[in-house]
């Protein structure tokens, strides 16, 4: 066998391409075929105004959520890009925690904060003259918008701040010399240069909110339904798979358009400026910065603190009561497993996902970087353009007969999680691989080392931190995945997010307490994983 042939970069991408072909492209073409195969597929979308209403609501709530997020993200970006202050990196990391949390945790956290029995109402009814809970935000649009802003504001601020740092400060100096005041300089000089960064943040936020599932499902209730939640409803409750497939096709058209716009905006991003100055605080700007940080911190910390507080609030006092019930099946049903079993399922699925996603993603990243293949790198990122619920629907339609009758197999959950995690692994490792000094490979080649030996003996030790980041990222992604798992998980194999959703849907304080305890555990695991990534990954904005 010719060893050189198998050392060519293109071969390294084959495992990822095979995974995508069988478990992404094949299910998507089945969705396309199913949506056009029968009259009950595409036809109802044009005949029933209800579906147009779901599309319209999905679009305008996503646009409104993006607008509200940007309204807070823009001043945050100014603060992070133009100023230094003690604890800045810690503040940035804390504010970014919501973006990495599973959507089910975000939804439960807001339920714990603003629900009828939530922390805020519990505090307010203790005030004189207030006899009943005054806050009624559950199952309203405001609850959805609040959660979306909570989820996206720090991420949007990070993108805009990166663009702000790339602005050449000499353009602002020239405007000042011509007599322009601070407001004029911002509106006429800075803001136009931030346009692509703002639009990039807006397009991604729109995409995340358009495909929002857990937040809308739990906080919006039956009154508010997006295309994403309607796909779930048509699949599992009405059993109209052709209609669900048609909705998934419509959603993919919107999401891929948003991704194309964002990709185009990223290519237009300017190179990082080497001379960005730190602006000293004035008395007014300091007061504004403190107010801004207080508001952003309150928005970030309050729901998470409420989640923890409610998980320990049992009866008349605080205790570990609900945590002690995690090994009990309060329902007493055969197909309703204990929360602790769901935790074990999640840990098992996450471990296998990490073992698959990291080597496959690493090989694809190495193939793209060594082969200088933008096409391969783009193809590996395709799962990011497909919502998790659409992916789960594709699995339901496709893998229900030999030779790939996997619908009842827990392996399908691992495959779904691997598809979701692999693009993040590949993107993280590709960025670090490009940062390696190519002279190291040249020196090893001059000493007689072949490409495989060079990678194992020279490059791999330098990439150990990046591999640790990728592994933690894959593990955390699997632990928090909700949309696809909800559709394909068997009742006896629920993960933590699925179990949380099931327990929330049952009456009684015990079921709610167990859901809160599981949500707190999942939040803690995700937050610890995020801080581990931050510590290993540094301040690379690309990550």
3-state secondary structure 228-261: HHHHHHHHHCCCCHHHHHHHHHHHHHHHHHHHHH
Domain boundary among 271, 289, 316: 316
CATH at 282: 1.10.3720.10
What are the DSSP calls for 162-191, one per residue? HHHHTS-HHHHHHHHHTT--HHHHIIIIIH
Taking CA atoms, 456 is separated from 339, 361, 537, in Å, by 42, 17, 21
* 35-39, 166-170, 438-442, 489-493: which is most confident: 489-493
% of the chain at pLDDT higher than 70:
87
Q: Within a domain: residue 277?
A: yes
Decide if pLDDT at 61 tops 60: yes
For the ranges 51-65, 90-104, 206-220, 317-331, which has the lowest average pLDDT? 317-331
**What is the predicted pLDDT for the residue at 168?**
75
Q: Within a domain: residue 308?
A: yes
Q: Within a domain: residue 133?
A: no
Say whether both 377 and 522 belong to one domain: yes
Q: Rounded to whole angstroms, how far apart are CA atoms 296 and 74?
A: 12
**What is the predicted pLDDT for the residue at 375?**
77
Q: Once rounded to an integer, what is the mean pLDDT over residues 299-316?
A: 88
**What is the predicted pLDDT for the residue at 252?**
83
**What is the predicted pLDDT for the residue at 73?**
92
Give Cβ neighbours of residue 403 (< 8 Å, ≥ 6 apart): none
**Which tens digit of pLDDT belongs to each residue from 151-163?**
899 889 988 888 8
Say whether both 150 and 193 belong to one domain: yes
Say whether both 243 and 355 belong to one domain: no
Q: Within a domain: residue 325?
A: yes
- Report DSSP state, residue 386: S
Could you tell me which residue, 4 or 318, shows the higher pLDDT?
318
The total number of structural domains that make up the chain:
2
Decide if pLDDT at 183 tops 80: no
**What is the predicted pLDDT for the residue at 388?**
86
Cis? peptide before 403, omega within 30° of 0: yes
Domain that holds residue 70: 38-100+139-316
Say whether both 356 and 309 belong to one domain: no
% of the chain at pLDDT higher than 90:
21
**What is the predicted pLDDT for the residue at 540?**
47
Q: Within a domain: residue 117?
A: no
Q: Which two tokens stand for residue 474?
A: 């894959």
CB 387 within 8 A of CB 228: yes
Q: Once rounded to an integer, what is the mean pLDDT over residues 106-111?
A: 92
**Which tens digit of pLDDT belongs to each residue from 334-358?**
446 788 888 899 999 999 999 999 9
Please classify residue 171 by burial: count the beta carbons closer than 10 Å to its beta carbon, then call 0-12 exposed, 13-18 middle and 19+ buried.
Answer: middle
**Which tens digit of pLDDT belongs to each residue from 407-442?**
788 899 999 999 999 988 988 888 777 777 666 666
**What is the predicted pLDDT for the residue at 541?**
45
Which pLDDT band holds residue 28 (cuts at 50, 70, 90)?
confident
Q: Rounded to whole angstroms, how far apart are CA atoms 338 and 267?
A: 49
Say whether both 388 and 468 belong to one domain: yes
Say whether both 172 and 80 belong to one domain: yes
Say whether both 366 and 508 belong to one domain: yes
Site of tokens 């919502």: 387
Rounded to the nearest integer, the mean pLDDT of the chain is 82
Per-residue b/e over 336-351, b at no fewer than 16 CB within 10 Å?
bbbbbbbbebbbbbbe
Could you tell me which residue, 307 or 40, shows the higher pLDDT?
307
Decide if pLDDT at 272 tops 90: no
Q: Once rounded to an integer, what is the mean pLDDT over residues 503-525?
A: 87
Q: Within a domain: residue 298?
A: yes
Which pLDDT band holds residue 236 (cuts at 50, 70, 90)?
confident
Decide if pLDDT at 275 tops 80: no
**What is the predicted pLDDT for the residue at 452?**
64
Say whether both 412 and 448 belong to one domain: yes
Domain boundary among 264, 281, 316: 316
Which pLDDT band holds residue 144 (cuts at 50, 70, 90)?
very high
Q: Within a domain: residue 128?
A: no
Domain boundary among 264, 298, 316: 316
For the ranges 10-19, 283-292, 405-414, which has the lowest average pLDDT? 283-292
Decide if pLDDT at 539 tops 60: no
**What is the predicted pLDDT for the residue at 1?**
42
For the ranges 145-149, 184-188, 239-243, 327-331, which has the lowest average pLDDT? 327-331
Decide if pLDDT at 543 tops 50: no
Site of tokens 């959703």: 501
Q: Three-state SS for 272? A: coil
Say whether both 210 and 153 belong to one domain: yes
Q: Within a domain: residue 118?
A: no
> How much is the pTM?
0.84
Among the residues of 125-168, which ranges form H helices? 141-165
Decide if pLDDT at 135 tops 90: no
Say whether both 335 and 291 belong to one domain: no
Q: Once rounded to an integer, what is the mean pLDDT over residues 289-305?
A: 89
Say whether both 403 and 429 belong to one domain: yes
Say whether both 235 and 354 belong to one domain: no
């Amino acid at each position: 066998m010719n060893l050189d042939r198998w050392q060519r970069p293109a071969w390294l991408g084959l495992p990822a391409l095979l995974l995508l072909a069988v478990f992404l492209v094949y299910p998507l073409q089945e969705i396309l075929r199913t949506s056009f195969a029968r009259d009950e597929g595409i036809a109802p979308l044009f005949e029933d105004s209800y579906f147009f209403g779901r599309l319209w609501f999905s679009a305008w709530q996503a646009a409104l959520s993006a607008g509200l997020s940007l309204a807070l993200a823009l001043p945050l970006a100014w603060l992070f890009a133009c100023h230094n202050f003690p604890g800045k990196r810690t503040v940035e990391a804390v504010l970014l925690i919501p973006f990495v949390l599973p959507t089910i945790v975000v939804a439960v956290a807001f339920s714990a904060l603003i629900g009828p029995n939530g922390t805020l109402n519990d505090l307010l009814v203790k005030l004189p003259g207030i006899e009943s809970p005054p806050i009624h935000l559950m199952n309203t649009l405001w609850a959805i918008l609040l959660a979306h802003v909570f989820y996206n504001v720090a991420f949007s601020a990070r993108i805009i701040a990166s663009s702000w740092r790339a602005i050449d400060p000499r353009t602002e100096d020239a405007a000042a010399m011509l007599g322009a005041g601070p407001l004029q300089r911002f509106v006429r000089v800075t803001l136009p240069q931030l346009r692509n960064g703002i639009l990039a943040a807006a397009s991604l936020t729109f995409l995340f909110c358009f495909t929002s599932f857990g937040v809308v499902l739990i906080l919006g209730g039956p009154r508010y339904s997006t295309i994403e939640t309607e796909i779930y409803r048509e699949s599992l409750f009405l059993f109209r798979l052709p209609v669900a497939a048609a909705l998934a096709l419509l959603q993919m058209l919107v999401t891929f358009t948003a991704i194309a716009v964002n990709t185009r905006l990223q290519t237009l991003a300017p190179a990082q400026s080497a001379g960005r100055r730190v602006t000293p605080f004035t008395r007014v700007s300091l007061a504004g910065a403190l107010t801004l940080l207080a508001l952003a911190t309150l928005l970030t910390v309050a729901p998470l603190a409420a989640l923890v507080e409610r998980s320990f609030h049992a009866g008349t006092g605080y205790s570990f009561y609900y945590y002690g019930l995690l090994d009990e099946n309060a329902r007493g049903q055969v197909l309703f497993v204990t929360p602790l079993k769901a935790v074990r399922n999640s840990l098992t699925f996450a471990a296998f996902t990490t073992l698959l996603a990291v080597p496959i993603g690493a090989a694809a990243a190495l193939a793209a970087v060594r082969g200088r293949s933008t096409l391969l790198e783009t193809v590996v990122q395709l799962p990011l353009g497909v919502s998790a619920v659409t992916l789960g629907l594709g699995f339901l339609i496709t893998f229900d007969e030999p030779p790939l009758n996997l619908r009842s197999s827990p392996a399908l959950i691992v495959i779904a999680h691997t598809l979701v995690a692999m693009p993040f692994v590949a993107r993280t490792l590709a960025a670090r691989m490009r940062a390696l000094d190519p002279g190291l490979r040249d020196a090893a080649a001059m000493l007689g080392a072949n490409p495989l030996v060079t990678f194992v003996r020279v490059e791999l030790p330098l990439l150990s931190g990046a591999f640790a980041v990728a592994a933690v990222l894959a593990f955390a992604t699997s632990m928090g995945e909700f949309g696809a798992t909800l559709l394909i998980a068997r009742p006896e194999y629920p993960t933590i997010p699925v179990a949380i959703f099931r327990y929330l849907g049952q009456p009684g304080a015990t079921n709610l307490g167990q859901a809160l305890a599981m949500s707190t555990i999942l939040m803690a695991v995700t937050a610890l994983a995020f801080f581990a990534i931050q510590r290993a990954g540094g301040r690379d904005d690309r990550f």
